[in-house]
């Protein structure tokens, strides 16, 4: 029986003559198409022998070929509509970029540039000059350096300044950021020895003072990022650490994590340390991320004293952690928005932070009305967005959510994740909710269509 079925299977060569296979060869090339047909035939043979299934028709084999070709060539990195209300969402790629940053990155990526070429002198230049002036103007620092990300920035600072020696840090700041970035482990990799002082909840200036000895190379402060200390707590101010460092001739490294150039308080958020405040307080080196509250591409920014930055620039590790031309172009364009005082209008992260509650409500209600017209029982609820990205833990911004109560939230969420584009929302009180704050302005139509398709798909499956 199975022998008869096996003999019904056509050959690869025979299938390659079919119009569908000819079209696939045009789109994917001969090799990939033939491979997909071999795989489809192998799968059919398996099904016949192992499960006693009948041989599929040539049409079914060609359909299987087309599916395999699509799966093999579809990029795994796909656009996602972020309806979670978490603005700097690390798993969803952190900061979306401004139009100007994207244009600059496209131009840098598609052609040659003076990345490491001095056009005036007609000779080799340095890639590290490109964001320096902008960063100096914006932060007041003497000099600046850009590397791959903030984890790299911290690693570089510790390696260049403290390898084989000791770095003093408060026990309240030995944080794990997520994605495996743990301060004690980074210090171990850098070759600097960790000297923990104080207790989990309280560290005093005298704790640092008592830890300083000839082996000490630096004092390190790390932003708590994703947790908040409340109750009986104390940390030493940066200004006091700087004064202590000066007394002993020790550099102070300040890892701000997100860092921000703008004041977060006018938006109803707590104070998030500004980079320029750390520079002003006298930190030797300040490190922060390019793609958290700054709202640019992934990068690690280091600003600070000229002699310390010069040491970093000369260190061999800098070459290994170096930043790409496309990133530099996007970063410079993003910093340009701050310099011109246009960050709030141009940078998506700040537009989202500054979004007015009445505008968010109007958008959520418009989505609900359009979905109701399509037969979906949508409504709107008051809710809360968050900044995310290891900044402002526990702080929220009031928003208006599109809510889909009465539908199985987990199943609906799964359907939305599997759609194209994928939509990621949040479950509140057993209902799937979508927050307009983090949905880009040109994604409204796609979002409404995706929700309607997902809900209708569920209703059809249930029948
Ligand atoms: C996020 C964060 C980092 C890591 O920054 P990346 O740019 O993601 O490498 C390091 N330190 C702190 C305090 C952070 O919050």
* Alpha carbon of 151 to ligand 1 centroid (Å): 6
Mean pLDDT of the region 70-87 = 96
List CB contacts of 409: < 8 A, sequence separation 6 or more: 427, 430, 431, 432
- pTM beyond 0.95, yes or no: no
Question: Which residue's CA is the closest to the ligand 1 atom numbered 11?
Answer: 257
Q: Does 327 lie in the same domain as 179?
A: yes
Residue 122 lies in a domain: no
Q: Which residue has the tokens 């928005």?
A: 337
Q: Are both 134 and 60 inside the same structural domain? A: no
**Whole-angstrom distance, CA of residue 316 vs CA of residue 318:** 5
Inside any domain, residue 117: no
Sign of the CA dihedral 147, 153, 158, 163?
negative
| Residue 331 CB neighbour total at 10 angstroms | 28
Q: What is the mean pLDDT of residues 306-334?
A: 97
Question: Which pLDDT score, from 0 to 100, does residue 462 have?
Answer: 57
Instruction: Say whether pLDDT at 1 is over 70.
Output: no
Name which residue sits closest to atom 6 of ligand 1, judged by CA.
Answer: 150
How far apart are the CA of 185 and the centre of ligand 1, in A? 13
Q: What is the pLDDT of residues 190-238, one digit of tens each?
A: 999 999 999 888 999 999 999 999 999 999 999 987 778 888 888 999 9
Q: What is the 355 CA–ligand 1 centroid distance (Å)?
A: 26
Verify that 439 and 297 share a domain, yes or no. Answer: no
DSSP annotation of 103 reads H
Burial code of 148-169, b = ≥16 C-beta within 10 A, e = fewer? bbbbbbbbbbbbbbbeebbbbb
| Ligand 1 neighbours (beta carbon < 6 A) | 149-151, 154, 177, 181, 222-223, 225, 255, 257-258, 289, 300, 390
Identify which of 134, 131, 167, 140 has the alpha carbon closest to the alpha carbon of residue 282: 140
CA 437 to CA 419: how far, in whole Å? 21
Using one digit for the tens of pLDDT, what is the confidence trace for 387-444? 998 778 889 999 999 999 999 999 999 999 999 999 999 999 999 999 999 999 999 9
Are 44 and 140 within one domain?
Answer: no
Nearest CA to ligand 1 atom 7: 150
The residue that leads in pLDDT, 327 or 259, is: 327
Query: Residue of the nearest CA to atom 5 in ligand 1?
Result: 150
- Domain co-membership, 295 together with 172: yes
Residue 9 structural domain: 2-73
Longest dimension (CA), the chain: 91
Answer yes or no: is 49 within a domain.
yes
Instruction: Judge whether 182 lies within some domain.
Output: yes
DSSP letters, 4-51, are HHHHHSPPHHHHHTSHHHHHHHHHH-HHHHHHHHHHHHHHHHHHHHHH
Q: Residue 443 domain-assigned?
A: yes
CATH code where residue 218 lies? 3.40.640.10
Indicate the residue among 325, 345, 365 that finishes a domain: 345
369 and 390 fall within a common domain: yes
Query: Please, what's the b/e burial string for 281-317 (b: 16 or more CB within 10 A of its CB; e: otherwise)?
Result: bbbbbbbbbbbbbbbbbbbbbbbbbeebbebbeebeb
Of the pLDDT bands very low, low, confident and very high (cuts 50, 70, 90), residue 459 is: confident
Tell me the three state secondary structure of residue 71: helix
| Residue reference for tokens 């960063």 | 135
Burial of 400 (0-12, 13-18, 19+ CB in 10 A): buried
Between the CA of 440 and the centroid of ligand 1 the distance, in Å, is 25
| Residue 180 clears pLDDT 80, i.e. is over it | no
Distance CA 242, CA 304 (A): 13
What are the tens digits of pLDDT across the range 2-28? Answer: 788 999 999 999 999 999 999 999 999
**For ligand 1, what atom is nearest to the CA of residue 289?**
7
Q: Stretch 338-364: mean pLDDT, rounded?
A: 98
Q: What is the per-residue pLDDT across 93-130, written as a single tens digit (0 to 9) for each? A: 999 999 999 999 999 999 999 999 999 999 999 998 89
- 259's tokens: 């860092």
Cα angle 146, 386, 439; round to 5? 85
Domain count, the chain: 3
- Quickly tell me which residue has 């070709």 as its tokens: 69
Looking at the structure, tell me whether residues 232 and 326 fall in a common domain: yes
Question: Same structural domain for residues 218 and 320?
Answer: yes
Whole-number Å distance, alpha carbon 304 to ligand 1 midpoint, is: 18
406 and 329 fall within a common domain = no
Residue nearest to atom 8 of ligand 1 (CA): 150
What residues contact residue 170 under an 8 Å CB cut-off, 6+ apart? Answer: 196, 197, 198, 203, 207, 208, 221, 235, 236
* Residue to probe by mutation, ligand 1, list 151, 190, 258, most atoms within 8 Å of CB: 151
């Amino acid at each position: 029986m199975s022998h008869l079925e096996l003999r019904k299977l056509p050959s690869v060569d025979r299938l390659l003559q079919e119009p569908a296979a000819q079209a696939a060869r045009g789109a994917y090339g001969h090799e990939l198409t033939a491979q997909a047909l071999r795989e489809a035939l192998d799968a059919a043979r398996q099904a016949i022998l192992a499960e006693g299934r009948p041989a599929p028709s040539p049409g079914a084999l060609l359909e299987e070929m087309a599916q395999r070709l699509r799966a093999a060539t579809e990029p795994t990195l796909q656009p996602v509509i972020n309806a979670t209300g978490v603005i700097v969402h690390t798993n969803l790629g952190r900061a979306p970029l401004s139009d100007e940053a994207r244009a600059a990155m496209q131009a840098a990526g598609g052609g040659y540039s003076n990345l490491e070429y001095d056009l005036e002198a007609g000779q080799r230049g340095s890639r590290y000059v490109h964001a320096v002036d902008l960063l100096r103007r914006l932060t007041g620092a003497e000099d600046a350096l850009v590397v791959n990300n903030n984890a790299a920035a911290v690693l570089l600072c510790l390696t260049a300044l403290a390898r084989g020696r000791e770095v003093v840090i408060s026990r309240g700041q030995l944080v794990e950021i997520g994605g495996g970035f743990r301060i004690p482990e980074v210090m171990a990799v850098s070759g600097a020895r960790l000297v923990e002082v104080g207790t989990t909840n309280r560290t005093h200036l005298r704790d640092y003072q008592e830890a300083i000895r000839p082996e000490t190379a630096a004092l390190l402060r790390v932003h708590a990022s994703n947790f908040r200390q409340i109750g009986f707590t104390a940390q030493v101010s940066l200004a006091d650490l700087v004064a202590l460092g000066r007394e002993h001739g020790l550099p102070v490294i300040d890892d701000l994590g997100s860092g921000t150039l703008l004041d977060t308080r006018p938006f109803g958020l707590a104070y998030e340390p500004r980079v320029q405040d750390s520079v002003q307080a006298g930190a030797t080196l300040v490190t922060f991320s390019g793609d958290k509250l700054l709202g640019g591409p992934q990068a690690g920014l280091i600003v600070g004293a000229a002699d310390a930055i010069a040491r970093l620039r000369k260190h061999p590790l800098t070459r290994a952690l170096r930043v790409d031309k496309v990133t530099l172009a996007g970063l410079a364009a993003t910093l340009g928005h701050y310099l011109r005082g246009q960050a709030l209008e141009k940078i998506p992260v700040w537009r989202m932070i500054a979004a007015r509650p009445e505008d968010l409500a109007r958008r959520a209600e418009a989505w609900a009305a359009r979905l109701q017209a399509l037969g979906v029982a949508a409504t709107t609820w008051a809710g809360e967005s968050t900044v995310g990205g290891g900044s402002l833990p526990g702080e929220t911004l009031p928003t208006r959510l599109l809510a889909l109560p009465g539908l199985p939230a987990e199943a609906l969420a799964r359907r939305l994740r599997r759609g194209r584009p994928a939509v990621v929302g949040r479950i509140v009180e057993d209902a799937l909710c979508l927050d307009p704050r983090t949905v880009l302005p040109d994604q409204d139509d796609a979002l409404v269509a995706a929700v309607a398709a997902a809900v209708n798909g569920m209703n059809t499956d249930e029948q």
